[in-house]
Chain A
Amino acid sequence: NAGVTQTPKFRILKIGQSMTLQCAQDMNHNYMYWYRQDPGMGLKLIYYSVGAGITDKGEVPNGYNVSRSTTEDFPLRLELAAPSQTSVYFCASSSTQGRQNTEAFFGQGTRLTVV
């Protein structure tokens, strides 16, 4: 029962470096999401996807890119890391049953520090 798996768990980047946060789910969910969690600010949606080949911007997409080539994987790309991207990143997935969207399942998070 892997659920949603994120890698890495921790990462330190230098300003201007790039990296990809990996996310995979094994529940055959059509929806996948990336959130960032800043202290005292709750979770903000970065990007989401309603299925393979389809992605859309959330509330805070600037500085990030995503792709969804398969149902299982939804990587998040940071091209030019900035200190403002220091945060904890959560990937989540959910599915639809009829017209209802089911509960979201979250990964354990990636703690990213940009110095």
Chain B
Amino acid sequence: GDSVTQMEGPVTLSEEAFLTINCTYTATGYPSLFWYVQYPGEGLQLLLKATKADDKGSNKGFEATYRKETTSFHLEKGSVQVSDSAVYFCALRVRGAQKLVFGQGTRLTINP
């Protein structure tokens, strides 16, 4: 079946540090890949997405590249801010399917 595995959290960094959150997937078809972010007390918001191999999604300084050869979609940011503190979810949707499959989420805390 389809599944998403994220790096274990929680992750705690200092402001301006470099961030990587690992995400790997298994899929029965050709998936689209997503990163969603959940700020405290809120629902999930789409952060970025990529729909085909070698695509790079980017938003708010975050980037992720769709790597078909390693079945990965790692999230990166060069310099994190306190306001980036949130839970980050990697997700996939196989083409033609209706549902999103989520990873378990990674809680990120940025200290000033």
Contact = CB atoms under 8 A, between A and B. Distances in A.
12 contacts: A4-B43, A31-B98, A35-B102, A42-B89, A42-B105, A43-B89, A48-B98, A58-B99, A90-B43, A103-B46, A106-B36, A107-B43
Contact of B99 (A45, A100, A107, A108): A45
B98 A40 contact: no
Given A90-B44, A100-B51, A103-B46, 11 more contacts: A35-B102, A42-B4, A42-B105, A43-B44, A43-B89, A92-B44, A92-B100, A99-B95, A99-B96, A106-B44, A109-B42
Interface of A: 4, 31, 33, 35, 40-43, 45, 48, 50, 58, 90, 92, 99-101, 103-104, 106-109
Contacts of A50: 98
Nearest to B96: A99
Nearest to A91: B43
> Is chain A's interface secondary structure helix, strand, loop, or mixed overall?
strand
Contacts of B45: 106
